[in-house]
Amino acid sequence: MAAHEIEYIRALRKGIDTCKDGQLFIARKRGDADVFTVKVVRTHGRNPYLPMKCDGTIESRVRAEQVALKVLTEERVPFVTQLHRSFHDQGSFYLMTDYCHGGDIQNRVAEFGPIPPEHALFYAAEMVEGICGIHAAGIIHRAIEPTNVFICADGHIMIAGFASAHSENFKASRKVASGIGPYQAPELVLGWSQDSSVDWWSFGLTLGFLLTGMNPFEDEADGVGRSSLLKSKILHRCIGAGTFGQIDVTLVDLILKCLERNAASRLKDEGVKRHAYFADV
């Protein structure tokens, strides 16, 4: 497949830093009805869709993303976006993945409010299955958050956003290039060595967001660019039973065990799957 065969329908996530993550589009192959998400990352020269040129580290990141997506697609990991095509030309790199019509959890909660508990349990169970599959494939996602979890037209969830993924099959940097984010685990924020437990910290926060529409480390009053304040909250803010309001005590227990700042003591993988919250799944 070549770039001229892509028919772009519209851009996604306007205002995205193109030099950091490339640009996302809803697109199709010319002559086909099937719609996909296409990420375009400019590496050299000119591209009519990307006015900015990205440096070599971005090219390395997108290749690491490609490797992770190829592995996950070959392993048929459930509830994870599939890679349909990837290619490059002299100017850009292209990744064609599933397009999810339902939008991401961040926008869903912003538009309709917190997810009802019975639906949240369903989504949480699928997220756990997807994350465990990602880890079994030798990959750490490192960016599990509401903007990277989508609700598809059939009601199931889909995990996407593998730009920060670390794969055993590709020697990419273990540093996350996008700066400090409100869903990052303490060891990521500090730049320490990390393992798959970073994804369970992020899962705990995402699950809390599903039910409450809030992240305890993210305050609107903080403004933009307050990375030092966000870092301090992630490392030091007290998180307890009342942090997420009046939600089920079993669910609170799961969230708090995922938000253990000591990664060695954090609940993960099989421990999460066996938690009492999922007893009826």
Strands (E), 91-208: 92-98, 139-140, 149-151, 157-159, 166-167
pLDDT value of residue 13: 65
5-21 pLDDT, tens digit per residue, is 899 999 986 544 444 56
CA-wise closest residue to 190 among 152, 139, 235, 233:
235
pLDDT value of residue 268: 96
pLDDT value of residue 124: 98
C-alpha–C-alpha distance, residues 8 and 99, integer Å: 13
Taking the model in full, what pTM does it have?
Answer: 0.89
CA dist list (Å): 193 to 104, 197, 239? 29, 11, 23
Q: Which CATH architecture has domain 105-278?
A: Orthogonal Bundle (1.10)
Q: What percent of the chain has pLDDT over 70?
A: 86
C-alpha–C-alpha distance, residues 117 and 15, integer Å: 33
φ/ψ (deg, to 5) at 193: -60, 150
Burial of 35 (0-12, 13-18, 19+ CB in 10 A): middle
Residue 179 in this model has a pLDDT that exceeds 80: no
Residue 182 in this model has a pLDDT that exceeds 80: yes
pLDDT value of residue 51: 43
- Region(s) of the chain under CATH 3.30.200.20: 3-98
20-64 pLDDT, tens digit per residue, is 567 889 999 888 888 999 999 887 655 444 444 455 567 777 888
CA-wise closest residue to 280 among 122, 114, 129:
122
79-129 pLDDT, tens digit per residue, is 999 999 999 888 888 999 999 988 899 999 999 999 999 999 999 999 999
C-alpha–C-alpha distance, residues 279 and 255, integer Å: 15
CA-wise closest residue to 209 among 255, 267, 159:
255
Q: Which pLDDT band holds residue 180 (cuts at 50, 70, 90)?
A: confident
C-alpha–C-alpha distance, residues 111 and 67, integer Å: 34
Contact 157, 123 (CB under 8 A): yes
- Region(s) of the chain under CATH 1.10.510.10: 105-278
Q: Which pLDDT band holds residue 281 (cuts at 50, 70, 90)?
A: confident
φ/ψ (deg, to 5) at 105: -65, -35
Contact 63, 124 (CB under 8 A): no
Q: Which pLDDT band holds residue 209 (cuts at 50, 70, 90)?
A: very high
Q: Which pLDDT band holds residue 175 (cuts at 50, 70, 90)?
A: low
CA-wise closest residue to 259 among 175, 180, 219, 199:
199
Residue 137 in this model has a pLDDT that exceeds 90: yes
Q: Which letter does DSSP use for residue 13 in this model?
A: S
Cβ-count burial 4-25 (b if 16+ within 10 Å, e if not): eebeeeeebeeeeebeebbbbb
Q: What is the CATH number of domain 3-98?
A: 3.30.200.20
pLDDT value of residue 19: 43
Burial of 257 (0-12, 13-18, 19+ CB in 10 A): middle
Residue 71 in this model has a pLDDT that exceeds 50: yes
153-165 pLDDT, tens digit per residue, is 899 999 999 989 9
Average pLDDT in the 223-234 region? Answer: 79
φ/ψ (deg, to 5) at 37: -95, 130
Q: Which residues contact 240 (CB under 8 A, 6 or more apart)?
A: 256
